[in-house]
A and B are shown apart, each in its own frame.
Chain A
Amino acid sequence: MNELEQIISQCRVNDRKGQEKLYRQFYPPLMALCKKFFRDNGDALEALNDGMLRVFKNIDAYQPTQGSFFNWTYTIVRNAAVDKIRKDKKSFQAESLDNSFMDAPDTDNPLKNLEWKELYRLLDSLTPATRAVCSLFYMEGFSVKEIAERLELSAGTIKWHLSESREKLKPVMEQYYSRQTPRNG
């Protein structure tokens, strides 16, 4: 953690090496975060970089008393991702409406090879809007109301996306937890 403090101090003075270290250190979890919302790696990376740019620009505003630096960064990147989702919500809605029929998963038998770490691959089966709402609700802990406010959508629309995601993910999750339970017991 001492190293992180050094990196932060470097980032405060716009030091590229410090920024690179911070970016590489936080890249896996933050990219994973963005991947929850975007199927395309390019979109996820764009959201990540937008978020990290906000982090570097506002690093002096970080207040250690309000939380850890990672959590602060995570929140900023997530907000950046949500903002990106909101900007693209019309196309998402259009896609949602026009392409209500979802593409089949990549695997022929998704229940067979599904593992916890392949959740993101499962999310790829969802439409972008449904994926974002699902991620925000199940993975990020947002309420329907919060999601509706953030994405500037109605609560009914959010609920519809959640219902859609449960229809697709419930069998997979039940299968996963049925396998995990004996091990933990």
Chain B
Amino acid sequence: MDNEEQYKIPDWEIPDANSLMPPADDAWSSMEQLLDKEMPILTDAPKPKGSAWGGSKLWLMGLLAIAVVSVLFILLQPTDTFTKETTDKSSVKKNTNENSSQNNQGVIDETANTTDSINKGTKEASQTGVDSNQQGVTSQPVDTDLAATPNKSEATAEQPGNGNTPADIKTATDSKKTNDLNNAVQDKTVKNKPGTQTALSKASNKNGIASDKLKGKQIADDTQLKKDKSNVIDSKLKDAGNKNVVVKPKGDDPLKEPGEKAIESDSALKQPDTNKNKVTDKQNTDAGILIQDSIQKSQTAKDRVSEQSNDSSQSVKNAMETSGNNLLSDSTAVAAEQKKFTNPFNAVINLDSNAHKQINTDIKPAQTKTRDLSKGRGTKAPPKNSNKSGINTEWLYGLQLNPALPLQNSSFYTRSLDGTNGSIFNHLFPGAFVGIRPMGQNKKLSRSQFMLDINPFFSESIPASLFLQKADSTRVVIDTSGIIRITRNNTESNFVKINAVNAGISWQYFISSHFTAGISLRGNFVTGALVNNLSNSLRLLNINGFDSIISRTNFDTLYKAGGAERNLLRSAQWWLMPEIVYHTNAWQFGLRGGLPLNAINKSPLATNNYPFQAQLFIRFNLGYKRK
């Protein structure tokens, strides 16, 4: 006997049950009594496998997936924090640019000293013009107030009848203009780098790029000078000493081009008051000595113009001159930046060379400190750091659903691997994805992005892929009369569904703001398969050489592929799938499809070895932040 069927049954036709058998109802009643006795029903009977959610194992796998996503989220947190910090910096910068009230207030507070310095500087600037003109460096008229700058001339013109004396100008002090000036200075400080803006304001003032605000400022400064001359003189002397520390090196090297001077004095221009604050007592002492020398030397120059001057105090002039020299140098630097200014003050101050060296040495830490303060206070974001590569790289991570579409053998789409009816929900277990969209050459996000995703619960029905086919026949001689019983069995087995861990890496390219086209290399790492076994049995009686069909029976069974059968199914199946994705906020909706790169069935009998597969996928980006 060749029959491999272990459960052999005879070929006889089923007799008429009604005539020969007891009724089925009675038979079942007796059977039920026996079952109740031998197999009582338990109230906590286990639920059938392959129920709606696929049994406890799938629940565990679901929890595992959530854990994986959580770990990914945690691992990506540092990058997120870094991005957040960057965002904060950007927001500071943005707020600064937008002049928001909060940051504005901070800047104002922060630059209070700077504003004071501006006030001082403005005073000094206006007076420096006087002294410098007095020194005859330029061809301006000798009259100090009128000849100082075009700015000052305009101020005078706006105050007809005030005369040409400083006293007239002081009298013409307008508190409203003073307020305007303060506001203007604050606005400029907020809108731009405080130090630079201040210096620019000073330069504008000195270069005759006059504005009403600056005029008012000059007037206000003069008013302040009038109120407390002695105090001003002392403070100006001190300031002059400190400022000479800053200015001297530039003025001391007339061979340098204005642009170079501007570079050297850039730090001081940005934070003039900070430089002053950072000078130590020793420096002040040293500077004080130098100041004396400076004063003495400058006194000589002032004496030359004293006869022409109508000012009341020589001391005031000294202070004005020294402090003005400082700002002249500042303005020189700014003017160099503007490439408009011609330095008329090269010979104004000639400090001795030793003092120059000493002071030059002392300046450096102050400059460094100034940068730190500026950085720490966050008035502006360091420009070199704001666009470093990686900061603007966008990370994507989250959950995804990528069910296979039931394009083939859809009747098995919802089946569990044991053949029982499962549920559509078996396809709705989430996977996870992580992706990156790097920054491009122009420091903008690239149009390409890369995704890596995994779904440990992937399931797809495939067209029947044959791996086993068997036909056998048995012949049994019943007796000597020549009657032969024949049984013909045909059996074939096909893979009809696989469960796998589905993972892939994708490249996506933004073809528009919302759509990407890309390609995905995907792998199915098979975890199980459903087998459809089809068999038919034909039973015949051969009587005197003639076949008489007694019965024909078809059997269609489903079962989970065993170990030997699993070996026929390729454990790692690779697919190349073009895909198109629609992006909207945190969501992505995509469709991909393609053919496998390798045969899924290793059996020599295999059919449908390269089935088309399509997936619909939905992603939710947990790292998305609304812009």
Interface residues of A (CB under 8 A from B): 1-2, 5-6, 9-10, 12-16, 19-20, 23-24, 27-29, 31-32, 35, 41, 44-45, 48-49, 52-53, 56-57, 64-72, 74-75, 78, 116-117, 119-121, 138-141, 166, 170, 173-174, 177, 180-181, 184-185
Judging by beta carbons under 8 Å apart, are A49 and B45 in contact? Answer: no
Chain B, Cβ-Cβ closest to A117: B15
Judging by beta carbons under 8 Å apart, are B7 and A13 in contact? Answer: no
Chain B interface category by residue count:
35 or more
User: How far, in angstroms, from A138 to B481 measured CA to CA in the complex?
Assistant: 13
* Contact partners of A12 in chain B: CB under 8 A: 48
Known contacts A14-B42, A24-B28, A29-B14; decide if A185 and B546 are in contact (CB<8 Å): yes
Known contacts A5-B557, A5-B558, A31-B27; decide if A68 and B535 are in contact (CB<8 Å): yes
13 pairs from A and B in contact (CB 8 Å cutoff): A6-B420, A9-B49, A13-B45, A19-B35, A31-B17, A31-B22, A45-B30, A53-B35, A53-B38, A68-B535, A117-B16, A121-B20, A181-B544
Interface string of B2-46 (1 = CB under 8 A from A): 000111111011111100111010011011101100110110011
Tell me, rounded to whole Å, the shortest Cβ–Cβ distance linking A32 to chain B: 5
Chain A, Cβ-Cβ closest to B33: A49
User: How far, in angstroms, from A78 to B7 measured CA to CA in the complex?
Assistant: 10
Judging by beta carbons under 8 Å apart, are B8 and A141 in contact? Answer: yes
Judging by beta carbons under 8 Å apart, are A57 and B38 in contact? Answer: yes
Judging by beta carbons under 8 Å apart, are B47 and A9 in contact? Answer: no
* Contact partners of B30 in chain A: CB under 8 A: 45, 49
Judging by beta carbons under 8 Å apart, are A184 and B546 in contact? Answer: yes
User: How far, in angstroms, from A10 to B48 measured CA to CA in the complex?
Assistant: 7
Chain B, Cβ-Cβ closest to A182: B546
Q: Which of A19, A68, A170 has the most CB of B within 10 A?
A: A68
Judging by beta carbons under 8 Å apart, are A32 and B15 in contact? Answer: yes
B378-400 interface (Cβ within 8 A of A): none
* Contact partners of A14 in chain B: CB under 8 A: 39, 41-42, 45
Tell me, rounded to whole Å, the shortest Cβ–Cβ distance linking A44 to chain B: 8
Q: Name the 4 nearest CB pairs between A and B, nearest first.
A: A71-B7, A1-B556, A64-B559, A67-B7
* Contact partners of B478 in chain A: CB under 8 A: 138
Judging by beta carbons under 8 Å apart, are B7 and A75 in contact? Answer: yes
Judging by beta carbons under 8 Å apart, are A27 and B544 in contact? Answer: no
User: How far, in angstroms, from A103 to B5 measured CA to CA in the complex?
Assistant: 39
Judging by beta carbons under 8 Å apart, are B7 and A140 in contact? Answer: no
* Contact partners of B553 in chain A: CB under 8 A: 70
Chain B, Cβ-Cβ closest to A71: B7
B530-582 interface (Cβ within 8 A of A): 533, 535, 543-544, 546-548, 553-559, 562
Q: Which of A24, A56, A141 has the most CB of B within 10 A?
A: A141
Chain A, Cβ-Cβ closest to B419: A5
Known contacts A1-B557, A52-B31; decide if A71 and B48 are in contact (CB<8 Å): no
Identify B35's interface contact among A5, A16, A78, A117, CB under 8 A.
Answer: A16
Chain A, Cβ-Cβ closest to B37: A53
Tell me, rounded to whole Å, the shortest Cβ–Cβ distance linking A185 to chain B: 6
Tell me, rounded to whole Å, the shortest Cβ–Cβ distance linking A84 to chain B: 14
Judge whether B479 is part of the interface by a CB distance below 8 angstroms.
yes
Judge whether B421 is part of the interface by a CB distance below 8 angstroms.
yes
Judging by beta carbons under 8 Å apart, are A139 and B17 in contact? Answer: no
User: How far, in angstroms, from A67 to B21 measured CA to CA in the complex?
Assistant: 27
Identify B21's interface contact among A31, A57, A75, CB under 8 A.
Answer: A31
Known contacts A68-B557, A184-B543; decide if A56 and B10 are in contact (CB<8 Å): no
Known contacts A1-B555, A10-B48, A181-B544; decide if A71 and B28 are in contact (CB<8 Å): no
Chain B, Cβ-Cβ closest to A35: B20
User: How far, in angstroms, from A16 to B7 measured CA to CA in the complex?
Assistant: 25
* Contact partners of B479 in chain A: CB under 8 A: 138, 166, 170, 173
* Contact partners of A6 in chain B: CB under 8 A: 420-421
Beyond known contacts A20-B32, A67-B5: 4 more, CB 8 A cutoff: A13-B45, A23-B31, A57-B38, A65-B533
Judging by beta carbons under 8 Å apart, are A35 and B21 in contact? Answer: yes
Judging by beta carbons under 8 Å apart, are A56 and B48 in contact? Answer: no
Chain B, Cβ-Cβ closest to A1: B556
User: How far, in angstroms, from A2 to B5 measured CA to CA in the complex?
Assistant: 22
Chain A, Cβ-Cβ closest to B547: A184
Tell me, rounded to whole Å, the shortest Cβ–Cβ distance linking A172 to chain B: 12
Interface string of B419-440 (1 = CB under 8 A from A): 1110000000000000000000
Judging by beta carbons under 8 Å apart, are A32 and B544 in contact? Answer: no
Judge whether B194 is part of the interface by a CB distance below 8 angstroms.
no
Known contacts A1-B555, A71-B5; decide if A13 and B47 are in contact (CB<8 Å): yes
User: How far, in angstroms, from A131 to B7 measured CA to CA in the complex?
Assistant: 22
Chain B, Cβ-Cβ closest to A31: B21
Chain A, Cβ-Cβ closest to B546: A184
* Contact partners of A181 in chain B: CB under 8 A: 543-544, 546
Tell me, rounded to whole Å, the shortest Cβ–Cβ distance linking A166 to chain B: 7
Tell me, rounded to whole Å, the shortest Cβ–Cβ distance linking A33 to chain B: 8
Judging by beta carbons under 8 Å apart, are B555 and A139 in contact? Answer: no
Judging by beta carbons under 8 Å apart, are B13 and A117 in contact? Answer: yes
* Contact partners of A166 in chain B: CB under 8 A: 479
Judge whether B272 is part of the interface by a CB distance below 8 angstroms.
no
Identify B9's interface contact among A48, A64, A74, CB under 8 A.
Answer: A74
Judging by beta carbons under 8 Å apart, are B50 and A9 in contact? Answer: yes
Tell me, rounded to whole Å, the shortest Cβ–Cβ distance linking A129 to chain B: 19
Judging by beta carbons under 8 Å apart, are A53 and B559 in contact? Answer: no
User: How far, in angstroms, from A49 to B29 measured CA to CA in the complex?
Assistant: 10
Identify B481's interface contact among A35, A69, A174, CB under 8 A.
Answer: A174
Chain A, Cβ-Cβ closest to B7: A71
* Contact partners of A140 in chain B: CB under 8 A: 8, 10
* Contact partners of B547 in chain A: CB under 8 A: 184
Judge whether B68 is part of the interface by a CB distance below 8 angstroms.
no
Tell me, rounded to whole Å, the shortest Cβ–Cβ distance linking A73 to chain B: 8
Known contacts A9-B420, A14-B45; decide if A75 and B9 are in contact (CB<8 Å): yes
User: How far, in angstroms, from A28 to B34 measured CA to CA in the complex?
Assistant: 19
Tell me, rounded to whole Å, the shortest Cβ–Cβ distance linking A3 to chain B: 11
Judging by beta carbons under 8 Å apart, are A56 and B20 in contact? Answer: no
User: How far, in angstroms, from A41 to B41 measured CA to CA in the complex?
Assistant: 28
Interface string of B185-219 (1 = CB under 8 A from A): 00000000000000000000000000000000000
User: How far, in angstroms, from A72 to B24 measured CA to CA in the complex?
Assistant: 21
Tell me, rounded to whole Å, the shortest Cβ–Cβ distance linking B410 to chain A: 14
Judge whether B445 is part of the interface by a CB distance below 8 angstroms.
no
Chain B, Cβ-Cβ closest to A166: B479
Judging by beta carbons under 8 Å apart, are A32 and B14 in contact? Answer: yes
Tell me, rounded to whole Å, the shortest Cβ–Cβ distance linking B281 to chain A: 93
Judging by beta carbons under 8 Å apart, are B481 and A173 in contact? Answer: yes
Known contacts A45-B27, A68-B557, A180-B543; decide if A53 and B7 are in contact (CB<8 Å): no
* Contact partners of B184 in chain A: CB under 8 A: none
Judge whether B476 is part of the interface by a CB distance below 8 angstroms.
yes
Judging by beta carbons under 8 Å apart, are A116 and B9 in contact? Answer: no
Judging by beta carbons under 8 Å apart, are B24 and A27 in contact? Answer: yes
Tell me, rounded to whole Å, the shortest Cβ–Cβ distance linking A60 to chain B: 11
Known contacts A27-B24, A29-B14, A56-B39; decide if A67 and B6 are in contact (CB<8 Å): yes
Judge whether B76 is part of the interface by a CB distance below 8 angstroms.
no
User: How far, in angstroms, from A20 to B28 measured CA to CA in the complex?
Assistant: 7
Judging by beta carbons under 8 Å apart, are B35 and A56 in contact? Answer: yes
* Contact partners of A117 in chain B: CB under 8 A: 13, 15-16
Judging by beta carbons under 8 Å apart, are B481 and A177 in contact? Answer: yes
B48-73 interface (Cβ within 8 A of A): 48-50
